[in-house]
Amino acid sequence: MMTSRKSILASALLAALTAIWCTGCPQMAIVQGATMVAGAAADDRTLDQQAADLNVKSAVEGALLNTNATLAATVNVDVYLGRIMLTGVVGSWDARRQAVDITRQAAPGHEIFDDMEVAIGNSIADSATDFAVNKDLGVNLLADEGLASQSFQHRVVNGTAFIMGQAQTEAQIDEARRAALQTPGINRVVTHILLR
């Protein structure tokens, strides 16, 4: 088990270093790579569960890309213990239904949370703002002493924080909501958090 864990962490580190050589912004790649390796080590899921979730995520993202590249660019796919959370802003109700249908076909039998928004007029999300707020949310979850932030995955879309993962108590779920609502730019929280 320990050798397998070291092997996976070494592979993750190698992937992170490869990303550094393939990107135009080495500092960002270093931070992302270090975050990925640290996250894999601190995550409450077993390495097998993390790998299975990554496989499901890759299958769904690949199916979206192969079917509709525009849709793939606007839909975020997060997977935690086999549960799939779809977020983002799509251009129509048909696009939203298509994303869910593609996900069901790519990952049959998995629970799907359809948290996508449909853009109406000028309601399309400012992705740069969402990215910055999501980063701040991650920092707040990490800094909160009552939470194990690696047990959560989160996305921010148009001021709404979507949090998925697992917690040991209801109090931790409430604490995650509180931390999210204290993050500037977040005015609503949707949680899909399991109790262990």
- pLDDT for the residue numbered 116: 97
Mapping DSSP onto H, E and C, the string for 96-129 reads HHHHHHHHHHHCCCCCEEEEEEECCCCCCCCHHH
Per-residue pLDDT reduced to its tens digit, 130-149: 999 999 999 999 888 777 65
- Assess if residue 16 is contained within a domain: yes
- 163: domain CATH number is 3.30.1340.30
- pLDDT for the residue numbered 148: 60
The token pair at 25 is 């912004």
Residue 147 in contact with residue 179, Cβ under 8 Å? yes
Residue whose token pair is 């869910």:
100
pLDDT(11) > 90: no
- Assess if residue 24 is contained within a domain: yes
- Assess if residue 111 is contained within a domain: no
- pLDDT for the residue numbered 196: 81
Residue type for position 5: R
- Assess if residue 103 is contained within a domain: no
- Residue 152, classed as helix, strand or coil, is strand
- pLDDT for the residue numbered 39: 45
Dihedral (Cα; 80, 84, 89, 93), 10-degree rounding: -170
- Assess if residue 109 is contained within a domain: no
Per-residue pLDDT reduced to its tens digit, 28-76: 444 444 444 444 445 789 999 999 999 999 999 999 999 999 999 999 9
Q: Which domain holds residue 7?
A: 1-42
- pLDDT for the residue numbered 149: 59
- Assess if residue 57 is contained within a domain: no
Q: Count up the domains in the chain and report the number.
A: 2
Per-residue pLDDT reduced to its tens digit, 95-127: 999 999 999 999 999 999 999 999 865 445 578
- Assess if residue 64 is contained within a domain: no
Residues in the chain, overall count? 196
- Assess if residue 71 is contained within a domain: no
The average pLDDT across 74-100 equals 96
